[in-house]
Amino acid sequence: RKEVEQDPGPFNVPEGATVAFNCTYSNSASQSFFWYRQDCRKEPKLLMSVYSSGNEDGRFTAQLNRASQYISLLIRDSKLSDSATYLCVIQNTGFQKLVFGTGTRLLVSP
């Protein structure tokens, strides 16, 4: 079983739609959680950290459920520029090793 599992998609949504991605992780000792975004043929970039109480950054909302070992990302009012692959990332204890999910591809169409 992969340490971080994501639905690969693609999710095809129209502009303005709300879309949610889910991610599960297997290591209950995982400390920190993130969503990274990767555009086609580009490097991954941090989208947002995920906090236990849930957090919001503009149109993006991240949630963490430690009991279920589940992380989510909600994107409201999708824009064409949101089209990318969204990577669920966990950080385990020790020297900041990040473990990446395989990513969920989002395609926002006009």
Partner 1 sequence: DTAVSQTPKYLVTQMGNDKSIKCEQNLGHDTMYWYKQDSKKFLKIMFSYNNKELIINETVPNRFSPKSPDKAHLNLHINSLELGDSAVYFCASSQFTRGQKQTQYFGPGTRLLVL
Name the residues that contact partner 1, by CB under 8 A. 31-32, 34, 42-46, 49, 85, 87, 91, 95-100, 102-103
Distances (CA, A) of 61 to 2, 15, 92: 25, 18, 22
Indicate the residue among 18 and 93 with the shorter CB distance to partner 1: 93
| Minimum separation from the CB atom of position 94 to partner 1 (A) | 8
Indicate the residue among 18 and 31 with the shorter CB distance to partner 1: 31
Indicate the residue among 61 and 85 with the shorter CB distance to partner 1: 85
73: nearest Cα among 10, 22, 9? 22
| Minimum separation from the CB atom of position 10 to partner 1 (A) | 12
Residue 71 is which amino acid?
I
Question: Which residues lie across from 75 on neighbouring strands?
Answer: 19, 60
